[in-house]
Amino acid sequence: MSQELIFPLHLVLGYVAWLLCFGAYLWPRLKAMDSFAAQRAIATLHGFRFFGLVFVMPGLVAPDLPASFAAFAAYGDFLTGVLALLALITVRMRPLFWTFVVAFNIAGMIDLVFDYYHAIQAGLPAHAEALGAAYAITILYVPLLMITHVAAFYLLWRPRTHAKDGNALFTARSA
């Protein structure tokens, strides 16, 4: 099987596996939480997006990793991670928290969509070995990030509810 087929297959299967996991274990709990707690949980995951800077780390990725992909992916992830961390830092200042929640979700979604675009334009599936150790990010981490952005936008648009238990992520039972 060719790299050009394996790379998108890995990506699609990453989405399938995360959608199954998310639907069974995370989504029921996030929906049971009040909007603030759910967005805080999602921001916590995205706070680790600084990890995307690995795409510009010599030795972890090949020197010939297309710069059009690497730089945008690295700095887009970094920006999203910083915005998510700022949301977490401002949890006691609700208007600021909500501003950063919207900002990191918009920035993060744009980052991922453009990363896909740049990867296709650079022919990344044919040169997936250039990702080196960062290959796992694209297959294991990116699908979860995209899924949680979609969930965050859904939760932002639904009517606000207030769960009785702020720790509903750990106590809610799925139907």
- Of the listed ranges 43-52, 75-84, 153-162, the least confidently predicted one is 153-162
pLDDT score at 162: 52
- Percent of the chain at pLDDT > 90 equals 79
The reported pLDDT for the residue numbered 175 is: 36
Q: How many whole angstroms separate alpha carbon 123 and alpha carbon 131?
A: 12
pLDDT of residue 170: 41
Mean pLDDT in residue range 161-174: 45
Where b means 16+ CB within 10 Å and e means fewer, 136-172 reads ebbbebbbbbbbbbebbeebeeeeeeebeeeebbeeb
> Comparing 13-27, 35-49, 87-101, 157-171, which segment has the lowest mean pLDDT?
157-171
Residue 107 contacts by C-beta under 8 Å, 6 or more apart in sequence? Answer: 76, 79, 80, 83
What was the pLDDT predicted at 168? Answer: 45
What's the pLDDT at 81?
A: 98
What per-residue confidence (pLDDT) applies to 4?
A: 85
Does the pLDDT at position 19 exceed 70? yes
With 90 as the cut, is the pLDDT of residue 1 above it? no
Asked if residues 49 and 81 have their Cβ atoms less than 8 Å apart, the reply is yes
Q: How far is CA 38 from the centre of its chain?
A: 15
- Angle (nearest 5°) at CA 17 between 152 and 160: 20
Angle subtended at Cα 144 by Cα 93 and Cα 130, rounded to the nearest 5 degrees: 115
Q: What is the pLDDT of residue 113?
A: 97
**58 — phi, psi (to 5°)?**
-60, 140
